[in-house]
Structure 1
Amino acid sequence: MLRTLNLAQRTMKLPKLFASLLPLCLSAPATRLSVPSGPYNVGFTQHIFNHTTPNDPTPGPGNIFLTSIYYPTRSTPLPNTSVPYFDPTSAVIWGDVFNILASDLMSLETTLQWQAPLLSEEEDIEKVKSWPTLVFSPGGGMNAGYFTSLLSDIASRGYTVLSLDHPGEAPYLQLPYGNPGVVGWDIYMPYTDSLIVEMYEYRRAEMLALLGPDGFPALVELYGAYFNTQEFGAFGHSIGAATATGAMDRLDSIVAGFNIDGGLFGDSVNASMIGRPYFMTMNPNHFASDPDTWIPFTERYANESKKEGGWLDWTTVEGSAHLAFSDISLWVELLPKIENATEKVNLGNVTGTRMDEILKKYVRSFWEWVSCGQYDEKLLDGEEEAWPEVVFNAKIRSNEHGTEV
């Protein structure tokens, strides 16, 4: 078994890996992602689970996956001790794609505290225990850490948030606790339809393993933590959204799902939500690039809701593009670009900070309604003046009078 986390640790102590990166982060003026909106600060730790992927199509080892855990803490961040956003290898790879110097990417600073103390007040603990633990799967070929702004914001509201990385899929994945990083597919890897289905299947298997009795629940029991291991929420970006949907189809303990700009692949196309709340948001190009999954999925959900009850929102963020639903749009907005470089990726015409605000607002409003009934009617029931970019394509509500679509 590879070296693992230490949730019981009560003092801030950066592992050798992170400590060695801090000087690099300080070599350029730090650029901090937006401060999380919740009442808590955010702790962070990681765990490497042993799990075999039969005939793994990636260059990775095929016998592990990495889980990052974001959780609320009352610990106050100390100067220059936040978890680094980038490792040097990944900064070079991704900087080349977006015309940003690796040194500037290395200047990105998070508010995450490595293995910060858990909550101690009973009221805080009861909140975390009663709200579902949320599990996130990133877009294809992307590190889950490139959604740090969103994931840390949710954790600051009182949630335990898990994210998944499959070593060998992203161009490079730095592993914790002194384990070597894993070189994966080239960043311009062409994905065939059959390969996408393979990716979906191993990701779904890993999410199910993580939420199964020998995964996260066993880890929580081992360390005596108070995290919820009975109810989960699943969400993801791109193929990660299909992963969440497919896992939701198989696991009744997943009480709700959130699809961030993701088509459906493999058997997730026919997933049954059995009336559980489900939110879908997308960029406008999905109407042309993915007409065969979202509309049938919505229609089937509506038919199921006539019997099972249900709640679904389907929205478009006008002016957005696929990768703008990640931190990447923040990198591009906040950091200097290499002069006279040719744009290689379209991020739409909504600014990074605005996309960040939109996504956080809708994601946290959805989960807070699922968790504690705090329902924002303006936001979740129709187009809102404050967020004109968000357009509703479909809304499904079940009540005693039947299903409203």
Structure 2
Amino acid sequence: MNKLTRAAAAALLACAVALPAATTATATTAPGPVPDPAPFSAAAAGPAALTAATPDAPADRLALRLPAPTGPYGVGSSVLHLVDRSRTDPWVPEADGRELMVTLHYPAARPAAARPAPGRAAPYSTREEARLLLKAIQVDDPASVGRLARIPAYSAVDVRPAPGRHPLVVLSPGFGMPRFTLTALAVDLASRGYVVASLDHAYESSGTSVPGGPALTCVACTVMEESGWSKGALVTGTRAADTRFVLDRLTGPRAAWRFASSIDRTRIGMAGHSVGGASAFAAMAADGRVDAGVNMDGSFWDAPPSDGLGGRPFLLLGTDAYHRPGGEDASWDTTWAALGGERRWLTADGAEHLDFSDAPVLLGHFGIPGGALPAERAIALTRTYVAAFFDEHLRGEDQPLLDGPDPAYPEMRFHRP
């Protein structure tokens, strides 16, 4: 990704792509994690980047539409507002506890042939969340905000879930990115029979709408920028605690979700993008309920536990240019060596850091050039390999796709260092 593309992408999503090691060196002599996405202002993107992202950009931009989910189920959607008053928020200590917004996507009782499931269509985001995301590139016209908020999310609000109990997957977004930027993955997993809980971690995204108050903006972005990402482990540790609290509220005796009985509490996985992926690792280390984890292109900030996650399976899924063995981010090599049990290290040739989220669709629509992979291909690769990993380790279904290269997916590289 060239510097213009990198800056424009970062401006759109209020976070910067992981930069080459030469520009992110820290005051340490030992190799380790390279800073994950940090806050990036619209002004810093430069006039060319801003021009590329304005409504006057070329007309051949991509349609603002995510690929449809691929599984046999229709998809339902619920939103929860949860507050953990047992903790002090690390970014805003004066807040009344740690505030979280959670979107649950789940298999609906009506099959996918009836998609979208009968009922009120779920929005992609609130208008305020869309406005704050686009504010980073100074796109503030109501039409653009409305188009973003109304992206089809392929789900219906609070419809009846499919019968039975379904594995639960928690999703954690990249730093500065709201939870809805993982919608393409979330609705696809739900259509395949998973309950998916996507988390917005308070004060860590471009904007999170909460009931009865102003949107929570990225206070943590300023803290991390000023600290040079020396507090990366604070982010992952906080998100691990967020995950524990959400699991308590979804699977505990007084569940916060009306359809919580559809969750199989014995089969829980977690995946995340960027620092969200590192947080999946931290959550597994802290909570034995998480049976399998996926890190999508995030640097590791936490030392691996001495038991290597107790043999629980973990997937490293990243960019080939950056996260191959011996690559710029040495934290992957260190963590891999410490992992026990079933483990996979896959990289996608031609993928960019943001390709593991909805970003390729968003960037393409606003005229910002992306990476080598077409948007739909990038999303398909993420969906396919994340679902295969959870199918194997949460459902016990053997997945030959994870055993080695497949001609249908020539971009994928398998590593066994």
Q: Pick the TM interval, shorter chain.
A: 0.7 to 0.9
Contact 1:68/1:164 (8 A) holds in 2: yes
SS in structure 2 of the partner of residue 170 of structure 1: coil
**Distance across 2 between alignment mates of 1:265 and 1:116:** 39
Partner of 1:50: 83
Q: 1:273 aligns with which of 295, 309, 328?
A: 309
Distance (Å, rounded) in 2 between the aligned partners of 1:268 and 1:205: 17
Paired with 1:113 and 1:60, the residues of 2 have a C-alpha distance of 36
Unaligned ranges ≥5, structure 1:
1-29, 305-309, 338-342, 395-404
Partner of 1:318: 349
Q: CA RMSD in A?
A: 2.9
Which 4+ residue blocks in structure 1 deviate beyond 6 angstroms?
186-189
Q: TM-score, normalised by structure 1?
A: 0.75
SS in 1 for 2:279: helix
Identity %: 26
1:382 aligns with one of 397, 401, 404: 404
Query: Which residue number in structure 1 is paired with residue 337 of structure 2?
Result: 299
Classify the secondary structure of the residue corresponding to 2:106: strand
1:350 equivalent in structure 2: 373
Q: 3-state DSSP class of the match of 1:366?
A: helix
Residue 181 (structure 2) aligns with:
146
Query: Residue type of the partner of 2:298?
Result: G
Alpha-carbon separation, structure 2, partners of 1:318 and 1:255 = 28
SS of the residue aligned with 2:252?
helix
Paired residues for 1:6-405 under 5 Å: 31-52=64-85, 53-54=87-88, 56-58=90-92, 61=95, 62-75=97-110, 76=114, 77=116, 81-97=120-136, 101-119=144-162, 124-125=163-164, 129=165, 131-176=166-211, 178=212, 180-185=214-219, 190=225, 192-212=228-248, 216-220=251-255, 223=258, 225-267=261-303, 272-283=308-319, 284-287=321-324, 290-301=328-339, 304=340, 310-333=341-364, 335-337=365-367, 347-377=370-400, 379-394=401-416
Shift of 1:328: 0.9
CA distance in 2, matches of 1:234, 1:141: 19
- How far the C-alpha of 1:381 sits from its partner, in A, is 0.8
Measured against aligned partners, the alpha-carbon deviations of 1:88-127 in whole angstroms (never above 9, x if no partner) come to 23333333556874344234221111111122xxxx41xx
**Could you tell me how far apart the structure 1 residues matched to 2:148 and 2:89 are?**
34
Q: Output the amino acid matched with 1:232.
A: I
The CA deviation string for residues 1-33 of structure 1, in whole angstroms up to 9 with x for no partner, is xxxxxxxxxxxxxxxxxxxxxxxxxxxxx9442
- 1:146 deviates by 0.7
TM-score, normalization: structure 2?
A: 0.73
SS in 1 for 2:233: helix
The answer as to whether partners of 2:107 and 2:191 remain within 8 angstroms in 1 is yes
User: Which residue is 2:28 aligned to?
Assistant: none
Structure 1 residues 222, 90: closer, same or farther in 2, change over 3 A? closer
Consecutive unaligned residues of structure 2, counting only runs of 5 or more, are 1-62
Mapped contact 1:245–1:271 kept (Cα < 8 A): no
| Stretch of structure 1 that moved more, 255-264 or 280-289 | 280-289
Q: Distance in 2 between matches of 1:320 and 1:361?
A: 15
Count of aligned residue pairs for this structure pair: 341
Compute the displacement of 1:80 (Å): 9.2
Bigger relative contact order, structure 1 or 2 (CA pairs below 8 A, ≥6 apart): 2
- Higher mean C-alpha displacement, 288-297 vs 356-365: 288-297
Contact 1:65–1:165, Cα closer than 8 Å, also in 2:
yes
- Tell me the SS of whatever aligns to 2:154: strand
Letter in 2 for 1:295: D
Deviations 1:147-172 (A, max 9, x none): 10101100111111112112211121
SS in structure 2 at match of 1:228: strand
In structure 2, C-alpha distance between the alignment counterparts of 1:316 and 1:391, rounded to whole Å: 5
1:251 CA displacement: 2.2
